[in-house]
Amino acid sequence: MNYDSIRPTPAKGTVRTLSQQEELPLLRDHLLRLDRASRHDRFHGFIDDSFIRRYAERCANDGTVIIAYFEDGVVRGAAELHPPEQSPDAQPEIAFSVERSARRKGVGSTLFRKLIAEAHAKGYGSLRITTGAQNDAMRALATKFGAQLTFRHGESTGSIDLTEQQQPEAAPAVAAVTPVEAARAIVDMNRAYWRMVMQISGWGRAA
Ligand SMILES: CC(C)(COP(=O)(O)OP(=O)(O)OC[C@H]1O[C@@H](n2cnc3c(N)ncnc32)[C@H](O)[C@@H]1OP(=O)(O)O)[C@@H](O)C(=O)NCCC(=O)NCCS
């Protein structure tokens, strides 16, 4: 697959993978700069600083790959590739955030391309993305890269099949899936997501 033909890297910034431990503050500060609505979209309703700090710390320690977009040495966007061990069905989860000042310039698309290349290099067969059903920007970005989204209870969740050799923009925007498949995807997603949220919030720490 040649995703680089989709759109050139933004002229102003650069993209590279963060080193996990040392560059944690760069990811954390980027996430803390997100405005209230963006935090809501990114973290499915969780918006407080302490949650974001714990989340960034966890990413630095659990094998999550962070691909960052830099402008003048500051991280203005990030793509997260979470390791498959975090999901009950061993499907790696991905997430994106771009600060408002850097949006609609292809940054999200550039990060997505790099993330897919990284996932290929790791030998992953598919990726899962979850976002709010009203999140037009993320839905547009995900479908552009071939995600097959299903909708339920205010959330969209979808898979990107990395074994398919089709141009991502030729992929259907919303795939037809059976109700059983859709329900299973949502249940799996919710299980993984809420387990992560409970751990970061400290609710499940005794276990
Ligand atoms: C989703 C997000 C990462 C997109 O980043 P971005 O840098 O603006 O994305 P791009 O500029 O590469 O745009 C990607 C595509 O989405 C489309 N798009 C972007 N914003 C859109 C919007 N608000 N409505 C509709 N389409 C939109 C673009 O037109 C583009 O499509 P095209 O290449 O066919 O023109 C960014 O809006 C964001 O960080 N949102 C807050 C956090 C969030 O919601 N994360 C998702 C949870 S994982």
> pLDDT, tens digit, for every residue of 20-70?
788 989 999 999 999 999 999 999 888 899 999 999 999 999 999 999 999
- The verdict on residue 4 lying in a domain is no
Smallest Cα–Cα separation from 98: which of 109, 87, 90? 109
Does residue 185 lie within any of the structural domains? yes
User: Residue 206 falls within a domain, yes or no?
Assistant: no
User: What is the span of the domain harbouring residue 66?
Assistant: 11-201
What's the confidence (pLDDT) of residue 201?
65
CA separation for the pair 99, 118 (Å, rounded):
22
Phi/psi region, residue 154 (left: phi>0; alpha: psi -120 to 50; beta: rest), is left
- In 19-152, where do the E strands start and end? 65-71, 74-81, 93-98, 126-132, 148-152
- Between CA 160 and CA 111 the distance in angstroms is 15
Instruction: Please report whether residue 29 resides in a domain.
Output: yes
Give 192's pLDDT tier (boundaries 50, 70, 90). low
Ligand 1 pocket, residue 38 CB under 6 Å = yes
Distance CA 184, CA 181 (A): 5
- Supply the DSSP symbol for 85: G
Residue 100 near residue 38 (C-beta atoms within 8 A): yes
Query: For residue 1, is it within any domain?
Result: no
Residue 36 falls inside a structural domain: yes
pTM, whole model, 2 decimals? 0.82
Position 171 confidence tier, pLDDT thresholds 50, 70, 90: very low
In a domain, 3, yes or no: no
The finding on whether 105 has its CB within 6 A of some atom of ligand 1 is yes
Are 91 and 128 in contact by the 8 Å Cβ rule? The answer is yes
The alpha carbon of 138 and the centre of ligand 1 are apart by a number of angstroms equal to 5
- Identify the CATH number of the domain in which residue 41 sits: 3.40.630.30
Residue nearest to atom 10 of ligand 1 (CA): 106
Residue 107 Cβ contacting ligand 1 at under 6 Å? yes
Range 26-40 burial, b when 16+ CB lie within 10 A, else e: bbbebbebbeeebbe
Q: Give domain status of residue 2, yes or no.
A: no
Segment 108-125, tens digit of pLDDT:
999 999 999 999 999 999
Q: What is the number of domains present in the chain?
A: 1
Q: So what's the pLDDT on residue 71?
A: 96
When the pLDDT of each residue in the chain is averaged and rounded to a whole number, the result is: 82
